Amino acid sequence: MPAKLTKAEQTRRTRRAILDRARHLFATKGYAATGTEEIISELGITRGALYHQFNDKLGVFKAVIVEAYSEITDYIQAKIQPLDTNWQQLIVGCQAFLEVAHQDELRRLVFIEAPAVLAADDLAEIDQYGFASLRESIE
């Protein structure tokens, strides 16, 4: 008999399932064409569970975008970490960014949906590290 999940683990799994499903839908259909019912319908959870985790559809979207930006930052960091000079880091970091930009899902989420849905201040807050890293390399 499998061990019973703790409330915290159930909450973590529900959150992860919502994020994964929403990410797929936002990346394939877009934010405007995705409804909360569609996000939860295949997950077997209630709309209340979604609202408990994220408050609303925009909250889910922001969480998806934060994860997408984090993936991009982690990818670029892994590429530039072993390099010695800022110049090398700048060149390889830009190449890594372009590699990421060719991934359909991330391209739509970060470059099309996020700027269309989120305010500029929200995007700047989400991408603090990436912009700061680029500015530091250039300087």
Which range has the top average pLDDT, 7-11, 28-32, 77-81? 28-32
CA angle centred on 126, ends 125 and 128, rounded to 5°: 65
* Residue 138: pLDDT band with limits 50, 70, 90: confident
Q: What is the pLDDT of residues 11-68, one digit of tens each?
A: 899 999 999 999 999 999 999 999 999 999 989 898 999 999 999 999 999 999 999 9
**DSSP secondary structure letters along 21-64:** HHHHHHHHT-STT--HHHHHHTTT--HHHHHHHHSSHHHHHHHH
**What Rg do the C-alpha atoms of the chain give, in angstroms?**
18
Q: Are 114 and 66 in contact (CB under 8 A)?
A: no
* Residue 4: pLDDT band with limits 50, 70, 90: confident
Mean pLDDT score across all residues of the chain: 90
**For the chain, which domains are there?**
7-138 (1.10.357.10)
Q: Are 31 and 114 in contact (CB under 8 A)?
A: no
The model's pTM is: 0.88
Task: Give the pair of three-digit tokens for residue 39.
Answer: 């996000």
* Residue 128: pLDDT band with limits 50, 70, 90: confident
Q: What is the pLDDT of residues 108-126, one digit of tens each?
A: 999 999 999 999 999 988 8
Task: Give the pair of three-digit tokens for residue 61.
Answer: 């979207």
Distance CA 18, CA 139 (A): 40
Average pLDDT of 80-90? 91
pLDDT, position 110 = 94
Distance CA 24, CA 31 (A): 11
